[in-house]
Structure 1
Amino acid sequence: MRLIFTSLVSHGHLYPLLPLAVAARDAGHDVLFATGDDMRPVVEKAGLASESAGFGMHDAFASAFGPDAPPRDPNASPESFYPVIGEVFGNVLPRRFFADLTPLFERHRPDLVVYESGNAGGAIAARLAGIPAIGHGFGRFSPGEVIDIITSRLAEYAAEVGFEGVDLPSFGDPVVDICPKSVQSPDFLAGANRIPLRPVGWAEPGDLPAGVVGRDKSRPLIYLTLGTAFGDEGVLKRAIAGLGRLEADVVVAAGPTVDPAQLGEVPGNVRVEAWVPQAELLPHVDLVVHHGGSGTTLGAFGTGLPQLVLPQGADQFTNAEAVVAAGVGTRLIGADSTEDAIFEQSRKLLADDEVLGAARNLAAEVAAMPSPAEVARRLPEFAG
């Protein structure tokens, strides 16, 4: 069977699809992955064929507002940015992906398209080409005002190209859902044709930081990251200062948006890296302090780890809400994320047996979800 997977051009949207794409290839299917040039090397390192489609977030925002658009005011409310997000995700990105994927689908004529749920252009291109398709989530589905704005803008574009049925995130198609059911949005669960899939962490191969393997386990290990898109030097500095006061060891992944050198001198129990293989690191960790990105949130769910969430944007605020509601952690938002608060909340989480028990129960739920190999065996039934 010929399969085309397609995702937006970012780690957080691409990585969740790779386990199923690789499992489908290993099951003997002909798999092609269509995404932007920036992410194609990642796909090819996974041993998958790729073709170019779409463009990255920076180019998408520049296309919408021009390269000289003023940066977002860090003191502005998240809601003030919603119209910008609506334009980019509801018009600019779908328009570009539809334009690129339509001829690609015509050339390859796949039996099934698996489109990442943020990639509306993939859903529209498959439907209008008459090709069966299923969605693939990248985390917890988070209905709310920003999704309503994206949907409204997307409906305008869809009508322009003759597509009906804008119903995010599924467009009426079955959806591969990598979020455990107990923490998934009730609004999504109420109407979705859901294909559960165990979230499998994906990271490019790499060595763990020195001292992680074989460390003294009498001292907790804390992992601090703000992900690949929302790194903030000030937040990282406050978190490092707070965590450095604990009787613990701390590994920091600065990510591509923050130069580790900008963080200055750090406490002796803190090690700063530009990047770490997160999926390999998490089993060694006792607490995750992070931004609330879907990959890190789900990775902590699957590893049974308490979480302190410092949300910075996008779906991170609703992910933080889900962490708190599940009893597996807490959150600090905006001005509340002070050095003292990060220290105090982390100290409490490391000693909270109730939170640890809830985290382990959630990890057991994740472990019971179908594996990528199991879901790959089901793909032919969706090809029609």
Structure 2
Amino acid sequence: MRVLIAASPGIGHVFPAVPLAWALRLAGHEVLVATGGDGLAVREAGLAVADVCPGLTLVDIVKTTVARHPEMFAEFATARFTDFADSLPYYAQMMNDQPAMMDAYVRVAEEWRPDVVVYSALTVGGLVGAAKLGIPAVEHGYGLFRTDGYGPRLRDLTAECFDRHGVDLPTRMHSIDIAPPSLVGHVPSGWPMRYLPYNGGSSVPGWLLEPPRRPRIAVTLGTTAPGLGGLDRVKRIAELVGDLDAEFVMALGNSDISDLGPVPANVRVEGWVPLNLLLRTAAGIIHHGGSGTTLAALDAGLPQILLPDGSDRDVNADAVAARGAGVSARIDDVTKAAVDALLHDNALRDAAADVRKEMHAMPGPGQLVARLEQIV
């Protein structure tokens, strides 16, 4: 069969689908990924990719919507969402502001003629494409929240796209749930599947292959947050940790670090680092609360300090904190003692280890292939 994976133009939305894509390929099926921006890095996984927004990045898309709707997104920037559903109008507005991108998903589906569309949560173009072809649509979760029941509301919020193509929601809709059940209410939503971290291909630096000489804490703000909010949180962490007996690896991707200034001797500033390999050498992590980073840390069994700044990041941080596997905080409230707790708080470490065991017991991507074959 042919499977179209339609993902928003960001790494955090497309990378979680890579293990399933390769499980499908290994079973002999054809896979095409429709995405754009930073999400095009999925090509490094050896997958065929169609670019739905040439020349645009996710940061560009966000900035366009912020400029067009400043009052709406001033509210979005300060909101603290405890229910991801409350953020839907903001995401829908971003999609409505990119009609050419939404139509591109549909065009790829019409031209390639898949048998099923697997779409990252909120990728309306994938839903419309599946509806137009009369094929099943399968939502692929990407965080510690469930969006499989959002279809009718998304249909209303992005009505222009559906109406432009003369369709309603697909008649056959399913979902893949990668969230550890104990963090989201225990009862699986849709088909449970184990999250396998995929962070892209990169050269492994020599220092990462060597055992750390003292406990290591990873620090990252992901791929999108630095482009929108700068490195103020990183600066604050560097100021706090100089006299702690630990090494802090700041993985900052392609962020401009020119204004970071001098850092303590126990802080290593790096660009792109293979996150899953870094976490295997770490004792804890401090990060922005992005879904991919949160799940990778849980998969590694690491206690976390999460510094969310809205949207799904607050939802992820609240879920981890409620489970006892980490702490959610605003950067100004983080103390040296809180950072030290990543190394010495046994309750945090035990909870994180329990979640890791839970995740590793979930069905693997290979077991989901049969599900997709059945609905096709």
Which bin holds the TM-score, normalised by the shorter protein? 0.7 to 0.9
Partner of 1:92: 97
The CA deviation string for residues 101-145 of structure 1, in whole angstroms up to 9 with x for no partner, is 3232222211111111121221122112212221101112267xx
Partner of 1:202: 198
Structure 1: runs of 5 or more not aligned: none
Alpha-carbon separation, structure 1, partners of 2:317 and 2:151: 17
Check whether the contact 2:298–2:356 (CA below 8 A) recurs between aligned residues.
yes
Residue type at the aligned position of 2:78:
S
1:327 equivalenced with 2:324 (yes/no):
yes
- Local SS of the residue matching 1:251: strand
Partner of 2:51: 52
Q: How many percent of aligned residue pairs carry the same amino acid?
A: 34
Alpha-carbon separation, structure 2, partners of 1:36 and 1:285: 32
1:243 equivalenced with 2:236 (yes/no):
no
Alpha-carbon offset, residue 267 of structure 1: 0.8
Alpha-carbon offset, residue 224 of structure 1: 0.3
Residue type at the aligned position of 1:363:
R
Check whether the contact 1:139–1:295 (CA below 8 A) recurs between aligned residues.
yes
- Describe how 1:1-384 pairs up with structure 2 within 5 A: 1-36=1-36, 38-40=38-40, 42-54=41-53, 56-61=57-62, 63-64=64-65, 77-78=78-79, 85-89=90-94, 91-93=96-98, 95-141=99-145, 153-155=157-159, 157-158=161-162, 161-165=165-169, 173-184=173-184, 192=189, 194-216=190-212, 219-231=214-226, 232-256=230-254, 258-333=255-330, 335-337=332-334, 341=335, 343-383=336-376
The CA deviation string for residues 263-316 of structure 1, in whole angstroms up to 9 with x for no partner, is 111111110011111012111110010000000100111111000011123211
Query: What TM-score does the superposition give when structure 1 sets the normalisation length?
Result: 0.84
Residue type at the aligned position of 1:102:
V
Query: What TM-score does the superposition give when structure 2 sets the normalisation length?
Result: 0.86
The CA deviation string for residues 158-197 of structure 1, in whole angstroms up to 9 with x for no partner, is 456544459xxxx9721111111111267xx58x4x1111
The CA deviation string for residues 301-360 of structure 1, in whole angstroms up to 9 with x for no partner, is 1111000011123211111100110100112125424xxx1x210112311111111111
- Alpha-carbon spacing, 1:324–1:64, altered in 2? closer, same or farther (3 Å): closer
Alpha-carbon separation, structure 2, partners of 1:176 and 1:364: 20
Structure 2: runs of 5 or more not aligned: none
Residue type at the aligned position of 1:184:
V
Alpha-carbon offset, residue 87 of structure 1: 4.7
Alpha-carbon separation, structure 1, partners of 2:331 and 2:132: 43
What is the number of residues matched between the two proteins? Answer: 365
Alpha-carbon separation, structure 2, partners of 1:270 and 1:50: 37
- Alpha-carbon spacing, 1:25–1:230, altered in 2? closer, same or farther (3 Å): same
- Alpha-carbon spacing, 1:348–1:244, altered in 2? closer, same or farther (3 Å): same
Superposed CA RMSD in Å reads 3.2
- Alpha-carbon spacing, 1:349–1:43, altered in 2? closer, same or farther (3 Å): closer
Alpha-carbon offset, residue 376 of structure 1: 2.4
Alpha-carbon separation, structure 2, partners of 1:290 and 1:62: 22
